[in-house]
C-alpha cells in the first residue's frame, strides 16, 4: 500500500479560537463534518516546523509529534483523523499513546525527553465527558508547554481563512482509512510509504507511562516510598475520577511502589468519567473526601489524593483533613530540599504562585531566602520563570502544582511530593502509632509560618453583563478610595487596592486587569476575578484570605474565621444586587 494525499475544500468555522487550554467545545460541535479537520489543518498550516507551511523556517525538516488524550468520548476517533492529517502535512512521525491515552504531564515529559517538535493533547481537562459533554484539543510546543499566544494567534488566523484540508488516503482503495491496520492496543511501529516523496510516514504506538514514570523515578526516591507503603500504619486512597491517571496510578502506586489494588479508586478510564466531573475538589471528589473521614469510614486511610481528567490537577487529603492547594504548595516548598532528591543540593532557588493563591508560600520563601514571584492566574505565566531558573516550584489555588521538570501542572508529581514528605518525616518513626500524618505536618507548618485561612467562592454561569457591571462597580469603588466600611469590619487598614498588573521579569511583557484586590495591613485579602476558563456566561470568583499567627487561633474553623471578610466582600461588591445570586455554586 502507498499513501497518497487527497485535498478537500472547506469553509472556515466560526469560533475556533484557542486559549492556553486549547480549543474546548461540546463533542457535538467537534463532530460536525470537517470541524476537527479544519482546526488541525490550521495548526499544521501555522506551525513553523512543518516544511512548506507559511512559516517554514527551513530549519526543521522532520517534524515528530506525540499524540494522545484523556480518554474522553471522541478521543479515539479524533486520533484516527489527526493521524491522516499529519501524514498528509509532511509530519515525519507521530508517537501515539497506547489506547490513545496520555496524561497532560506525560505529553510534556515525552516532548522534552525525546526532543520532539511538539504534541497534540486531546482533553477538556476537568470538564465532563460523553456525547453531550465536552471535548478539547491543545497543541504543546517543543519546550513541552502549551503553545503561547504567538502560536495560537496564528492558528486562529488560519481557521478564519482556511479553504482546504489534506488527508492521507490509501491509493489502492481511496475511501478507506489507510491506518485502519494500526492497533492502539500495544506498543508497535508502523511504517507507511508515501507516494509523493518516497519517504515513510511512521506511527509508533508507545507505552503511555514509560517516559513519564522514569522521569518521576529520577525526581523521587522510590525506594523510600516503597518503605512507606510497607508500613502497617500507613495506607492511602488514590482516586483517578475515571480520568486518564488511572493506569498511571496503577503503574506507579501498585506496580512500582507495592500498594495493594484496593488503594486505587475509579482508576478505569471511562469516556464519560462515570457521569461525573473529573475535578479533584471537595465538591466533585466528595466520595473520596468521605472515604478519608474517620467519622464516616472506620478504615479511613492516612493519605488521600485525586487528580483530574487529564492528570494535571491534584487534591491532597489527610484523615478527615483537607489541605488547601495554597498550603500544599507551601508545605511542598518547605520540605522539598530535604525530602525530594531532585531539589537537594541547593537546586531550589525560587518559587511562584498565582496572585489569588493564598500567601502561605510567601512566608516559606522569606524564611528560606528563596526568590518569590506572584503571577496572574494561568500556568503559562510560570513558563519563563521555570525556563530561566528563576523559580523551580509553582502553584495555584486552582489545584495545580508542579515544577521545572516539565512545563505543565502535574497531579501525580504533587501526590508523590506529599508521599515523599510523609516518608522522609517518618523515617525511624516506630512503633506503630507514632506516624506523623498529613494533618500533623500541616499544623506544624502553621505553627512555624502562621496560617493563611483561605476560601474561594465561585458563582458560575452568571449573566456576563451583570458580572462585568459588578467588576466595574468595584473599580469605581477603588477610584473613590474610601475603604472605611471595609476597614471597620476587618479592623485593619487597606494597604493595596488595585486591579492586578504583572510585568514578566524575563521578557518584560505586561498583563493588566488580572483581578481586583484589596490587601489589608495584616495580610488579609479580598480578591475578585472573572474566570478565564468558563464556557457559558461568566464565572465570578471571590477569593478570601486571612493570615493568622496567634497560636490560639490557628486551628480555628476556616469558614468561621473568614465569615466577616466574606460578608463585607459581598457587601462592597453588591454581588447579589448585580447577579441575583444569593449563594455560590461551588466553594473550595
Residues 301 and 325: their CA atoms lie apart, in Å, by 20
Q: Are 330 and 417 spatial neighbours (Cβ–Cβ below 8 Å)?
A: no
532 interacts with, out of ligand G6P, Zn ion, none, CB within 5 to 8 A per kind = ligand G6P
Smallest separation (angstroms) from ligand G6P to the CB of 381: 8
Looking at the Cβ atoms of 174 and 535, the one nearer to Zn ion is: 535
Residues 297 and 320: their CA atoms lie apart, in Å, by 10
Q: Which of 125, 326, 398, 403 is catalytic?
A: 125
Residues 277 and 284: their CA atoms lie apart, in Å, by 6
- The H or E element that residue 7 is part of is strand 3-9
Length of the chain: 588
16 interacts with, out of ligand G6P, Zn ion, none, CB within 5 to 8 A per kind = none
Could you tell me which residues are beta bridge partners of residue 322? 317
Looking at the Cβ atoms of 84 and 541, the one nearer to ligand G6P is: 541
310 interacts with, out of ligand G6P, Zn ion, none, CB within 5 to 8 A per kind = Zn ion
Q: Are 100 and 70 spatial neighbours (Cβ–Cβ below 8 Å)?
A: no
- DSSP designation for 11: P
Smallest separation (angstroms) from Zn ion to the CB of 310: 4
Smallest separation (angstroms) from ligand G6P to the CB of 223: 33
398 interacts with, out of Zn ion, ligand G6P, none, CB within 5 to 8 A per kind = ligand G6P
- The H or E element that residue 122 is part of is strand 118-122
Smallest separation (angstroms) from ligand G6P to the CB of 518: 18
308 interacts with, out of Zn ion, ligand G6P, none, CB within 5 to 8 A per kind = Zn ion
Smallest separation (angstroms) from Zn ion to the CB of 538: 21
Residues 198 and 201: their CA atoms lie apart, in Å, by 10
Reduce the secondary structure of 482-512 to three states and give it as a string.
Answer: CCHHHHHHHCCCEEEEEECCEECCCCCCEEC
Looking at the Cβ atoms of 301 and 400, the one nearer to ligand G6P is: 400
Quick one: which of 499, 479, 470, 504 has its CA closest to 574? 470
548 interacts with, out of ligand G6P, Zn ion, none, CB within 5 to 8 A per kind = none
Q: Contact positions toward ligand G6P, by CB under 6 A? A: 21, 377-379, 396, 398, 400, 531-533, 541
Q: Are 211 and 110 spatial neighbours (Cβ–Cβ below 8 Å)?
A: yes
Q: Contact positions toward Zn ion, by CB under 5 A? A: 125, 308, 310, 312
Smallest separation (angstroms) from ligand G6P to the CB of 533: 4
Looking at the Cβ atoms of 541 and 546, the one nearer to ligand G6P is: 541
Looking at the Cβ atoms of 178 and 411, the one nearer to ligand G6P is: 411
402 interacts with, out of Zn ion, ligand G6P, none, CB within 5 to 8 A per kind = none
Strands 164-170 and 3-9, how do they pair?
antiparallel
Q: Can 125 be counted among the known catalytic residues?
A: yes
Smallest separation (angstroms) from ligand G6P to the CB of 566: 18
CA torsion sign for 335, 341, 344, 347 is: negative
**And the C-alpha cell for 342?**
531532585
Looking at the Cβ atoms of 178 and 376, the one nearer to ligand G6P is: 376
Q: Are 347 and 326 spatial neighbours (Cβ–Cβ below 8 Å)?
A: no
Residues 208 and 190: their CA atoms lie apart, in Å, by 17
Looking at the Cβ atoms of 396 and 545, the one nearer to ligand G6P is: 396
Smallest separation (angstroms) from ligand G6P to the CB of 529: 6
Q: Are 357 and 329 spatial neighbours (Cβ–Cβ below 8 Å)?
A: yes
531 interacts with, out of ligand G6P, Zn ion, none, CB within 5 to 8 A per kind = ligand G6P
Q: Where are the beta strands (DSSP E) in 123-234?
A: 134-140, 164-170, 188-193, 200-206
Which whole-number Å values give the CA distances from 369 to 201, 303, 349, 353, 394, in the listed order? 51, 30, 8, 16, 16
Q: Are 44 and 141 spatial neighbours (Cβ–Cβ below 8 Å)?
A: no
Looking at the Cβ atoms of 266 and 357, the one nearer to ligand G6P is: 357
Radius of gyration, CA atoms only, the chain: 25
Residues 36 and 546: their CA atoms lie apart, in Å, by 46
Indicate which residues carry an active-site annotation. Answer: 125
Amino acid at each position: 500500500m502507498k499513501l497518497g494525499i487527497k485535498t478537500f475544500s472547506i469553509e472556515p468555522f466560526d469560533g475556533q479560537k484557542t486559549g492556553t487550554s486549547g480549543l474546548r467545545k461540546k463533542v457535538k460541535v467537534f463532530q460536525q463534518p470537517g470541524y476537527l479537520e479544519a482546526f488541525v489543518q490550521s495548526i499544521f498550516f501555522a506551525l513553523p516546523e512543518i516544511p512548506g507551511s507559511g512559516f517554514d523556517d527551513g530549519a526543521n525538516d522532520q517534524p515528530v509529534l506525540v499524540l494522545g488524550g484523556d480518554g474522553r468520548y471522541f478521543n479515539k476517533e479524533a486520533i484516527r483523523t489527526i493521524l491522516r492529517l499529519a501524514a498528509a502535512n509532511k509530519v515525519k512521525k507521530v508517537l501515539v499513546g497506547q489506547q490513545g491515552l496520555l496524561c497532560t504531564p506525560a505529553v510534556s515529559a515525552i516532548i522534552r525527553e525525546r526532543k520532539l517538535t511538539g504534541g497534540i493533547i486531546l482533553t477538556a481537562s476537568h470538564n465532563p465527558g460523553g456525547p453531550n459533554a465536552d471535548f478539547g484539543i491543545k497543541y504543546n510546543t517543543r519546550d513541552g508547554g502549551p503553545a503561547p499566544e504567538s502560536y495560537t494567534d496564528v492558528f486562529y488566523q488560519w481557521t478564519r481563512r482556511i479553504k482546504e484540508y489534506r488527508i492521507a488516503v490509501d491509493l489502492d482503495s481511496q475511501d478507506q482509512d489507510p491506518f485502519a491496520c494500526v492497533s492502539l492496543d500495544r506498543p508497535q511501529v508502523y511504517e507507511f510509504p508515501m507516494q509523493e516523496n518516497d519517504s515513510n510516514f511512521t506511527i509508533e504506538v508507545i507505552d503511555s507511562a514509560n517516559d513519564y514514570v522514569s522521569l518521576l523515578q529520577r525526581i523521587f526516591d522510590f525506594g523510600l516510598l516503597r518503605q512507606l507503603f510497607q508500613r502497617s500504619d500507613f495506607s492511602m486512597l488514590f482516586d483517578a475520577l475515571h480520568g486518564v491517571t488511572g493506569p498511571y496510578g496503577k503503574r506507579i502506586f501498585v506496580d512500582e511502589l507495592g500498594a495493594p489494588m484496593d488503594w486505587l479508586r475509579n482508576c478505569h478510564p471511562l469516556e464519560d468519567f462515570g457521569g461525573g466531573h473529573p475535578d479533584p475538589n471537595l465538591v466533585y471528589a466528595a466520595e473520596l473526601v468521605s472515604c478519608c473521614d474517620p467519622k464516616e469510614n472506620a478504615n479511613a486511610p492516612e493519605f488521600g489524593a485525586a487528580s483530574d481528567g487529564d492528570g494535571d490537577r491534584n487534591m491532597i487529603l489527610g484523615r478527615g483533613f483537607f489541605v488547601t492547594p495554597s498550603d500544599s504548595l507551601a508545605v511542598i516548598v518547605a520540605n522539598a530540599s530535604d525530602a525530594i532528591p531532585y531539589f537537594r543540593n541547593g537546586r531550589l532557588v525560587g518559587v511562584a504562585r498565582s496572585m489569588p493563591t493564598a500567601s502561605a508560600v510567601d512566608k516559606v520563601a522569606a524564611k528560606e531566602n528563596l526568590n518569590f514571584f506572584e503571577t496572574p492566574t494561568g500556568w503559562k505565566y510560570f513558563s519563563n520563570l521555570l525556563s530561566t531558573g528563576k523559580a523551580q516550584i509553582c502553584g495555584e489555588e486552582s489545584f495545580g502544582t508542579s515544577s521545572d521538570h516539565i512545563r505543565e501542572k502535574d497531579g501525580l508529581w504533587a501526590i508523590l511530593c506529599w508521599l515523599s514528605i510523609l516518608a522522609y518525616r517518618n523515617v525511624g518513626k516506630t512503633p506503630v502509632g507514632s506516624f506523623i500524618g498529613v494533618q500533623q505536618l500541616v499544623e506544624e507548618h502553621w505553627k512555624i509560618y502562621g496560617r493563611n485561612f483561605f476560601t474561594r467562592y465561585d458563582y458560575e454561569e452568571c449573566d456576563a453583563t451583570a458580572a462585568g457591571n459588578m467588576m466595574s462597580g468595584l473599580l469605581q469603588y477603588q477610584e473613590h478610595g474610601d475603604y472605611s466600611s471595609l476597614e471597620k469590619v476587618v479592623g485593619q487598614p487597606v494597604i493595596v487596592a488595585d486591579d492586578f498588573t504583572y510585568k514578566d521579569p524575563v521578557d518584560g511583557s505586561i498583563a493588566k486587569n488580572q483581578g481586583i484586590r484589596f490587601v489589608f495591613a495584616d495580610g488579609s485579602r479580598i480578591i475578585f476575578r472573572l474566570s478565564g476558563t468558563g464556557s457559558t456566561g461568566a464565572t465570578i470568583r471571590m477569593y478570601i484570605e486571612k493570615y493568622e499567627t496567634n497560636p490560639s487561633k490557628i486551628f480555628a474553623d476556616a469558614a468561621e474565621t473568614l465569615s466577616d471578610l466574606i460578608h463585607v466582600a459581598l457587601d462592597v461588591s453588591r454581588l447579589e444586587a448585580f447577579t441575583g445570586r444569593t449563594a455560590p455554586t461551588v466553594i473550595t
